[in-house]
């Protein structure tokens, strides 16, 4: 019986071809592991490669999960960045406000300091250290270390976060998270986490729009005892701690808290002013926490208008400046009412009166989340309109 040559792998030329492909892949893999160093020593130099379109890796951690390299930001500019390799997510930028040109005259070198320099000795960024090596830890923390009898840390990226706080990174009162558009920032107060908005990019004046005061359920803050810091715990909560005491003075649980889920976690101050937590499930980032769940409570939800801020106090529920809230409430209210009025033309006059009156009543009563009430009030109005028909 004649056997048809269905399995082409057995064909000699195909075998050769496969071997050829494998050897190329193998060579490529070797080149890749060779190309991304695990430490940078004095004398290290790198320039951006014109043919790289997105990211040029220069240093990676021992697990190959994180990588430091040149990230193309605008077509012709670069930031020195730490990425989460499987997702290409940016976790840290060295020079977010001073991008360097993607040109062979830009250079990253290590001479004791890790330095990003440009043409004519222009200095974009430097760690200003006298260290022996640069390493990227498996937590994504980039460190300049001195190697004496002990390894000492002269500089670390965990002290200089951009818009992202990583798992186990200590967020202290001398740090801030700044959203990538520069409008929002997160800082610690003596007993609270505050989110602040800038009215105007050129002026320094800021307005607090979210203030989460420590609940002090497991431990009290003792005045004069030590500074407050915050950290995302691997157990999936944002904890506030006082230096010198072990139990947290506050715990903001993520959705996956106590759900036996593992995976790298980070917290990010987004460009809309929201603070969101994510974890990596092995193939994608899962939203695991958001400080503001109602979009109407974001500092800037109703158009590109600045100056109306809803001031919300997280746990304390103390009365704050309500004027801003009324402003934004009326704006959001007007939009909701307008949409309602268009969809349900026959009831529009009745609804507008009813909707706006409802917000003002709620604001007088200072109930948290008046916008949710507004929305449900409007829906009630709509249902009533429908019922009357």
CB of 19 or CB of 27, closer to ligand NAG: 27
Residue of 15, 138, 190, 258 that binds ligand NAG (CB under 6 A): 138
227 forms part of the interface with ligand NAG (CB under 6 A) = yes
174 forms part of the interface with ligand NAG (CB under 6 A) = yes
Residue found by looking up tokens 């320039």 in the block: 47
Select the span of 24-32, 45-53, 77-85, 355-363 touching ligand NAG (CB under 6 A). 45-53
CB of 253 or CB of 327, closer to ligand NAG: 253
CB of 151 or CB of 384, closer to ligand NAG: 151
Cα 115 from Cα 40, distance rounded (Å): 12
Q: Are 105 and 121 in contact (CB under 8 A)?
A: no
Cα 221 from Cα 339, distance rounded (Å): 47
Closest separation in Å from C-beta 63 to ligand NAG: 5
Cα 197 from Cα 184, distance rounded (Å): 5
168 forms part of the interface with ligand NAG (CB under 6 A) = yes
Closest separation in Å from C-beta 370 to ligand NAG: 38
Cα 107 from Cα 95, distance rounded (Å): 14
Residue of 86, 112, 316, 327 that binds ligand NAG (CB under 6 A): 112
111 forms part of the interface with ligand NAG (CB under 6 A) = yes
Q: List the x/- string, 258-297, binding to ligand NAG by CB under 6 A.
A: --x-------------------------------------
Closest separation in Å from C-beta 159 to ligand NAG: 5
Residue 256: both structure tokens together: 């996956």
Cα 310 from Cα 364, distance rounded (Å): 14
Residue of 68, 71, 91, 115 that binds ligand NAG (CB under 6 A): 115
DSSP states along 11-45: SHHHHHHHHHHHHHHHHHHHHHHHHSBS-EETT-E
Cα 145 from Cα 86, distance rounded (Å): 27
53 forms part of the interface with ligand NAG (CB under 6 A) = no
Q: Are 115 and 130 in contact (CB under 8 A)?
A: no
Cα 61 from Cα 75, distance rounded (Å): 27
Alpha-carbon dihedral sign for residues 164, 169, 171, 175: negative
Residues that bind ligand NAG (CB under 6 A): 49, 51-52, 63, 111-113, 115, 130, 138, 158-159, 168, 170, 172, 174, 227, 260
């Amino acid at each position: 019986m004649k056997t048809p040559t269905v399995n082409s792998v057995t064909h000699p030329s195909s075998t050769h071809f496969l071997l050829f492909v494998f050897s190329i892949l193998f060579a490529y893999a070797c080149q890749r592991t060779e190309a991304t160093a695990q430490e940078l020593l004095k004398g290290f130099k790198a320039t951006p490669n014109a043919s790289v379109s997105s990211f040029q890796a220069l240093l990676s951690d021992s697990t190959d999960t994180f990588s430091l390299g040149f990230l193309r930001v605008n077509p012709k500019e670069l930031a020195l960045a730490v990425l989460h390799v499987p997702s290409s997510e940016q976790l840290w930028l060295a020079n977010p406000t001073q991008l360097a040109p993607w040109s062979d005259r830009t250079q990253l070198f290590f001479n004791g300091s890790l330095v990003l320099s440009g043409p004519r000795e222009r200095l974009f960024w430097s760690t200003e250290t006298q260290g022996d090596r640069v390493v990227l830890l498996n937590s994504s923390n980039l460190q300049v270390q001195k190697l004496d009898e002990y390894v000492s840390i002269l500089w670390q990226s965990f002290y200089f976060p951009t818009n992202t706080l990583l798992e186990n990174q200590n967020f202290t009162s001398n740090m801030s998270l700044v959203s990538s558009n520069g409008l929002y920032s997160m800082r610690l107060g003596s007993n609270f986490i505050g989110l602040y908005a800038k009215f105007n990019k050129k002026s320094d004046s800021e307005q607090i729009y979210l203030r989460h005061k420590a609940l002090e359920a497991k431990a009290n803050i003792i005045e004069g005892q030590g500074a407050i810091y915050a950290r995302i715990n691997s157990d999936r909560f944002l904890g506030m701690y006082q230096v010198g005491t072990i139990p947290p003075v506050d715990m903001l649980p993520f959705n996956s808290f106590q759900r036996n889920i593992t995976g790298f976690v980070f917290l990010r101050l987004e460009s809309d002013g929201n603070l969101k937590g994510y974890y990596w499930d092995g193939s994608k980032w899962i939203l695991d926490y958001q400080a503001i769940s109602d979009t109407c409570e974001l500092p800037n939800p109703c158009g590109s208008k600045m100056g109306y801020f809803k001031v919300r106090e997280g746990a304390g529920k103390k009365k704050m400046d309500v004027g801003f809230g009324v402003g934004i409430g009326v704006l959001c209210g007007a939009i909701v009412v307008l949409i309602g009025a268009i969809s349900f033309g026959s009831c529009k006059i009745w609804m507008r009166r009813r909707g706006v009156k409802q917000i003002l009543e709620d604001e007088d009563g200072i109930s948290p989340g008046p916008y949710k009430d507004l929305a449900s009030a409007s829906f009630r109005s709509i249902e009533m309109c429908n019922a009357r028909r």
